[in-house]
Amino acid sequence: MAVHKKKDILRGRHMICLRDYSPEEINLIIEQAAELKSEQKNGIPHPYLEGKTLAMIFQKASTRTRVSFEVGIFQLGGSALYLSAQDLQMGRGEPIKDTARTLSRYSDGIMIRTFDQNEVEELARYASVPVINGLTDRFHPCQALSDLLTIREKKGFLKEVKLAYFGDGNNVTHSLLLACSGMGMHITVCTPPEYQPEGEILGWAQENARATGGKVELTADPAEAAQNADILYTDVWASMGQEAEQEQRKQKLKYYQVNRNLLEKASSGALIMHCLPAHREEEISEELMESYAPVIFEQAENRLHAQKALMMLIM
């Protein structure tokens, strides 16, 4: 049965955090993304959201999130409405719950990219249409979905694939922990002690791993983390809102750069992944960024396909 014949299974759901989705549901999104990607590459129109509108709230600047959602809803036959903090009364004191109830009357879905996870959760609590977390300081579920799609494309499967993450235990790390453990992968997070991921989220990932046969490990030793890894993954060391800590973070994280020395410890045929934007010669060497650009920019492209699948299934 074609995947999109199952589209009503997730209708009306929010995407706030991957913990809210079962492995089977995440796999459905990945399968749908692969199908939509194939249709697009073969020039097959797929206007499954014809006439629908996505309201997009941006409290943080964006390249990939804005373009991938806007292009994605257009390719699905719908339209997007870009709303910056300056465009909304929410930035002038209107309660989030009122914004949620208003936008629900005008649109078929709401995507928000903001700082505080609580804002997304409150928006979802009062909205009567699906709300998608486009990024917060705590989670980045859409990035993790595109990462799973990329890994499955490149490796052919997900279960027991070994991913090693290097750098800051940030929102991408948190969502990768939930995504990888939920799909039975082995994930090692390699950070200095002061930049480890949140203990609560680490605990959720360990619960997932016990149920799926995955593995979750934490280490401060890059050589240990890279040993026999199938994927070396990194992200910028200072996220938006942390610019004042840039120099301090560079000093603390300089030993966690993904470079040739780390790659030599990984498994044969290991991949390099980066969620972008990349600061070359900081978290990743220029050499590996360029050598693995085809994988990294396929990963970026897959934001489009994964988010199209998510919108189609929940809207």
Q: Which residues are catalytic?
A: 113, 140, 143, 235, 275, 303
Rounded CA-CA distance 31/27 in Å is 6
DSSP-based three-state secondary structure for 239: coil
Rounded CA-CA distance 265/268 in Å is 9
For residue 177, which of 212, 211, 217, 137 has the smallest C-alpha distance? Answer: 217
The count of other CB atoms within 10 Å of the CB of residue 241 is 10
Name beta bridge partners: 188.
Answer: 164, 217
Report phi then psi at 130, rounded to 5. -60, 140
DSSP per position, 141-179: HHHHHHHHHHHHHHHS--TT-EEEEES---HHHHHHHHH
How would you class 243 by CB atoms within 10 Å of its CB: exposed for 0-12, middle for 13-18, buried for 19 or more? exposed
**How many residues belong to the chain?**
315
